[in-house]
Amino acid sequence: MKYGFIKVAAASPEVVVADTAANSEAIISAARRADGLGVKLLVTPELGVTGYTCGDLFLQKRLIDRARDAIAHIAEETAALGCIVVVGAPLRFGTTLYNCAVVMLNGQILGVVPKTNIPNYSEFYELRHFSPAPDSKELLTVELCGQYVPFGTKLVFRCEGMPEFAFGCEICEDLWVPEPPSVRLALNGATIICNLSASDETVGKASYRRELVRSQSGRLLCGYIYADAGCGESTTDMVFAGHDLIGENGSLIAESKPFENALDEDGKVACPMVISEIDVQKLVSERTRIKTFDSCVGFSERSDAFDVSFEMEITDTKLTRHFEPHPFVPSSETERAERCEAILETQAFGLRKRLEHAHASSAVIGISGGLDSCLALLVSVKAMDLLKRPRTDVIAVTMPCFGTTVRTRSNAELLCERLGVSFRCVDIKAAVNQHFRDIGHDESNHNVVYENSQARERTQIIMDIANASNGLVIGTGDLSELALGWATYNGDHMSMYGVNSSIPKTLVRHIVRFYADTADDPELSSVLYDILDTPVSPELLPADEKGEIAQKTEDLVGPYELHDFYLYYFLRFGFEPEKIEYIANYVFDGVYDSETIHKWLTNFVSRFFVQQFKRSCLPDGPKVGSVTLSPRGDWRMPSDASSNIFKI
């Protein structure tokens, strides 16, 4: 539960229809297994105590009485567990029979939630036996197993030690209707929805069920646990598959395959169980960020929910769920290609509009032979193609100086040749040396003055060329560099339109590779592949004795794959650095040791705060993803904010 990770499970214990003793033992066994694996919230199927397919046996007093006995037995046998168990049972109060979810912890029944929407079509005829939940504005209580407990559809169960951990329950058909109870539960603070289901299997239903869970978790910004009845329910005309699902904010994070593990090694029916961790702190962060979620319900409407408090020890959660090590880059090759193409289109259409609006005769780019300027050049060419203008209207300028290597200079020239743009070479060594003499700097002192003088000289040149050609300077800096402040203020930091400003370094590489893979020109692809193989460097320090790049960016500021990981979770979800470090140690286990992860995270936090002043005056640039640092759009931060409380 530490850092908001709640280990949850959906299980489909073996059911013997109408045998409450056997079913309760199966549920107890599943609960013990879940508890042993660290699960804090276990959801089991609809009417699991009796079986969903009892038919008119639900009208038999003995079955209903034995269901109550089974609930008492399950509560008693799970009292020593640290796991909340949600169980489905038919319960009669007065003369009315309800299809219920019973929530229990430490031998206590926390509450009972009756089913709201009772299906009575096709193979379902629940209205023959059950009544819909009463619509009461008052908190109802019922007696169950010697306890008086809250009863109703508006119960939100909240953890006293972690208020973000709050859950509500709905039952099967409740999810399939136009206005599920989970909508109101989520708007009243439930970050997790438990669904006890007995959904029989028909062709195509699994994919529809999957999309329902996925989309509902996305619409409600919640975790969604769907526990489905297993094959033990299969009887007469219906077959059940134990299709258990766990969703979180529009994604499925765990799923059992329908009919999977129907029999164990001994030929007995097994109990499918899916386990994962729902990040309730992340869900609360999303709800806080997306104001339209909170505005859907007013204060008076919130008052119709009833909180049920429970205590639970806050412990470390052993992570098992998957986190993408490169969260900006889709792992699927097909999806990655689609995203790269879409980003190129977005960048090019944004630049096209700016060139058109400014009546610019040219797009001027400083080309280094590195990845970022390569991508900016590809985008500029695409923009000119969209404008149906000659590619020679793109002016690419290479400006070799003290650190420029033969490899990068050659690649820059070859790239421009294959793309058919105008190419200029302006050697800046003499100008920079003159500048050193003007300001009294010793050229043998390779400090920040030595480096930044080159960057500012290059910017001055392309700005003046743009003036002379009625053009716009196209910025090349990417999102990762902006987050770290790895840019020379009023040097490469400045342009008239920054096409890469919302693209992280890890994604820049894949976009260039996509272009290389799909290019019709083999020679163009070849030079792009070599650029991809070139170490990332500003080339502001002299090359080594072999004439190769000596100044490697990732040796100085850290691996970009780590920084992009930090950036994503810090900006996108507002995670604390300690939580980011916790996840990073799990995700990059075997790739980076904990000391390395800590070192570069500390560096990221420090640089992110100190360098904000550079981001406060960024040029325009197209937003292409959910994380950007534009001072006019997604990120407004004072330049002098302290990082003290964020230090780890």
pLDDT in tens, 521-538: 999 999 999 999 998 887
Residue 240 inside a domain? The answer is: yes
Lateral strand order in the sheet of 223-227? 251-255, 245-248, 223-227, 192-196, 166-171, 155-159, 306-310
Q: What is the mean predicted confidence (pLDDT) over 42-57?
A: 96
> Do residues 400 and 540 make contact, with C-beta atoms less than 8 angstroms apart?
no
**What pLDDT is attached to residue 268?**
61
The CA distance from 541 to 533, in Å, is 20
What are 300-319's pLDDT values in tens digits?
Answer: 455 578 999 999 988 889 99
**What pLDDT is attached to residue 270?**
65
Active site residue 46: yes
Q: What is the band of 269 on the pLDDT scale with cuts at 50, 70, 90? A: low
Residue 325 inside a domain? The answer is: no
Q: Which residue in 407, 490, 495, 412 sits closest to 455, CA to CA?
A: 490
**What pLDDT is attached to residue 545?**
78
The pTM score is: 0.91
Mean pLDDT of the chain: 94
Q: Where are the alpha helices (DSSP H) in 177-276?
A: 181-187, 205-219
What are 190-201's pLDDT values in tens digits?
Answer: 999 999 999 888
- Assigned token pair, 237: 């005309």
User: On the CB side of 243, how many CA atoms lie within 13 Å of its CA?
Assistant: 21
Residues facing residue 186 across a β-bridge: none
**What pLDDT is attached to residue 300?**
47
630 pLDDT exceeds 80? Answer: yes
Q: What is the band of 338 on the pLDDT scale with cuts at 50, 70, 90? A: very high
Shared-domain flag, residues 107 and 164: yes
The CA distance from 559 to 563, in Å, is 7
542 pLDDT exceeds 90? Answer: no
Active site residue 222: no
Q: What whole-number percentage of the chain has pLDDT above 90? A: 85
Domain count, the chain: 2
Domain encompassing residue 228: 2-310
Shared-domain flag, residues 286 and 186: yes
589 pLDDT exceeds 90? Answer: yes
Catalytic residue among 172, 194, 231, 401: 172
> Do residues 491 and 472 make contact, with C-beta atoms less than 8 angstroms apart?
no
Shared-domain flag, residues 304 and 345: no
Shared-domain flag, residues 105 and 145: yes
CATH number reported for the structural domain that contains residue 339 in this entry: 3.40.50.620
The CA distance from 594 to 586, in Å, is 10
What are 423-476's pLDDT values in tens digits?
Answer: 999 999 999 999 999 999 999 999 999 999 999 999 999 999 999 999 999 999
The DSSP-derived string for 250-273 is: TEEEEEPPTTTT-B-TTSSBP--E
264 pLDDT exceeds 70? Answer: no
Residue 576 inside a domain? The answer is: yes
The CA distance from 268 to 283, in Å, is 39
Active site residue 425: no
Shared-domain flag, residues 257 and 356: no
Catalytic residue among 40, 54, 77, 115: 115
What are 100-138's pLDDT values in tens digits?
Answer: 999 999 999 999 999 999 998 777 789 999 999 998 888
351 pLDDT exceeds 70? Answer: yes
CATH number reported for the structural domain that contains residue 144 in this entry: 3.60.110.10
- Assigned token pair, 438: 């003007």
Give the residue, 539 or 563, on which the prediction is more confident.
Answer: 563
Shared-domain flag, residues 415 and 346: yes
Shared-domain flag, residues 61 and 112: yes
594 pLDDT exceeds 70? Answer: yes
429-439 vs 448-468: helix axis angle to the nearest 10? 120
Catalytic residue among 46, 170, 277, 561: 46
Shared-domain flag, residues 346 and 283: no
Q: Which of 310, 343, 364 is the last residue of a domain?
A: 310
Distances in Å between the Cα of 273 and the Cα atoms of 79, 172, 178, 245 are: 21, 18, 29, 9
What are 545-580's pLDDT values in tens digits?
Answer: 778 877 888 889 999 999 999 999 999 999 999 999
Residue 161 inside a domain? The answer is: yes
Q: Which residue in 624, 619, 607, 346 sits closest to 459, CA to CA?
A: 619
Residues facing residue 10 across a β-bridge: 43, 274
